[in-house]
Amino acid sequence: MNYDFIGGEVLLVDKPLHWTSFDVVAKLRNLCKIKKIGHAGTLDPLATGLLIVCTGKKTKSIQQYQDLKKTYQGTICLGATTPTYDAEFPPENLKSYHHITQEQVKEVIEKHFSGEISQVPPIYSAIKIQGKTAYQLARKGKEVELQPRTVHIYKFEILRFELPYIEVEIECSKGTYIRSIAHDLGQILDTGGYLSRLRRTKIGDFNVSDAKTMEEWIETLKFLK
């Protein structure tokens, strides 16, 4: 297949675990031999799944792709919290979760995580505060205070209920932090909770099943002149 990276291409990447979105862009920049390249919506290093990367003139469409609905599949672990709201740090503040029922969780989801909601992003996030990211400040031990933001939850389904783990699928607006949903769900249930796994499966009509892994992109692009 011939690519026109200057004219503009939209590359669908299945981002691997532990890679940052910047790592993906940097690797593809080197392979495509182009300076103008960017991604449409950050994925955390501990998240996998669909990342849209635009090159050349297609970078003008990045905002358009960022504004699309996102679909995630993830696993929430009840009975503990972490500072990052995910599995980057060891679980702490252990609490009993055995009394929680699936019906209870469904009721909380319907009441608190449906339609337009307000959420506070994790302090370990890429949100900028006076030119520095929140996670940079948090890692230095600085006090970080982030303001609530309004996001929209279009769908929140339980795929598997096997405590302490709850597998879920969430369709949401841009800017939604699934880590915050996991944390807030645990707070409401009074058990604590954090996100132990996250995978982005869709952005608008783009599906991760149509994406290439980084290994596949490296193999596809390594022979380009």
Residue with tokens 């909601």: 117
Q: With beta carbons less than 8 A apart as the criterion, state whether 60 and 9 touch.
A: no
Pair type for strands 128-129 and 115-119: unpaired
What's the full length of the chain, in residues?
225
Dist. CA 92–CA 76, nearest whole Å = 15
3-class SS shares of the chain: helix, strand, coil, % to 5: 30, 35, 40
- For 190: left if phi > 0, alpha if psi spans -120 to 50, otherwise beta; the answer is left
Catalytic residue selected from 4, 14, 23, 44: 44
Instruction: Establish whether 44 is a catalytic residue.
Output: yes
Active site residues: 44
